[in-house]
Structure 1
């Protein structure tokens, strides 16, 4: 989902880098990553190619990791992408939203699966509002 970075604080890149460092990302002297961060909820490394169950995106395994005793055709490969989650913006969108300008301890480096799970109510509410707006029943979120 695209982000409107104009809504974020001016020092967002620095905050993002601090959160990734807390999650284990390490840079060499030239600024290149030599150790990837890991999801602060499930521990999967950033950019790792993993296999997710086709029917349950929250279950995953490494390609050479533990055998879950299931046919490999139940899994599909995917690359992990860590994003920075706002821990106070998890409910439906509206006047009670937490701020985008929040301290580092209210941010977390999460894989796409954990981030989507954290924000599930928010995504469900926006999808519901979009469907109703298309039917002419409610205005779309601003």
Structure 2
């Protein structure tokens, strides 16, 4: 995914190379949050639990083995997702290697959740303000 224009100042000019280094060398092609392998299609239950086909075990959202196996109803509702790793900032604006992590889509969204919620609120606030400005106050 491309970087938004207003966020370019968070990233150094060599970001593609730095990102590739973090994802392939340091993380070994696996998510540092949950352990999912990059480029593979993974079976998961939608709540973070996923099937680690390489080891033949179910794992939770933190790459730990499940203490109890999923029920038959849960297994009947499994989903498949292709895992794509991205390099994420643990703390915004700090590009030190210790502050960067290779995350899958799920872990990246969980990491950035407060920022996404803030942007969502701002978008809805602006939309309502424009409605008030041009259409009058809401009933």
**TM-score w.r.t. length of structure 1:** 0.69
C-alpha distance in 2 between matches for 1:2 and 1:116: 16
Q: Deviation at 1:53? A: 2.1
C-alpha distance in 2 between matches for 1:52 and 1:84: 22
Q: Which moved more, 1:80-89 or 1:11-20?
A: 11-20
- Identify the residue that residue 33 of structure 1 maps to in structure 2: none
C-alpha distance in 2 between matches for 1:135 and 1:70: 45
Aligned residue pair count: 113
Q: Deviation at 1:110? A: 0.6
- Identify the residue that residue 34 of structure 1 maps to in structure 2: none
Larger radius of gyration: 2
Identify if the C-alpha distance between structure 1 residues 133 and 2 changes in structure 2 by more than 3 Å, giving closer, same or farther.
farther
- Identify the residue that residue 132 of structure 1 maps to in structure 2: 125
Is 1:23 aligned to 2:13, yes or no? no
Deviations 1:58-114 (A, max 9, x none): 22224664452333332211111111010103xxxxxxxxx1x61111100011111
Which secondary structure state, in structure 2, belongs to the residue aligned with residue 136 of structure 1? helix
In the alignment, structure 2 segments of 5+ residues that lack a partner are: 59-68, 131-139
- Identify the residue that residue 38 of structure 1 maps to in structure 2: 30
- 1:79-90 equivalences under 5 Å are 79-89=82-92
Is 1:14 aligned to 2:17, yes or no? yes
Q: Deviation at 1:2? A: 4.3
Q: Which moved more, 1:62-71 or 1:12-21?
A: 62-71
Greater helix fraction, Structure 1 or Structure 2: 2
Q: Calculate the aligned-residue CA RMSD, in Å.
A: 2.3
Which residue of 100, 103, 121 corresponds with 1:107?
100
- Identify the residue that residue 4 of structure 2 maps to in structure 1: 4
In the alignment, structure 1 segments of 5+ residues that lack a partner are: 25-36, 90-98, 138-142
Q: Deviation at 1:42? A: 1.3
CA contact (8 A) 1:84 1:107 kept: yes
**TM-score w.r.t. length of structure 2:** 0.70
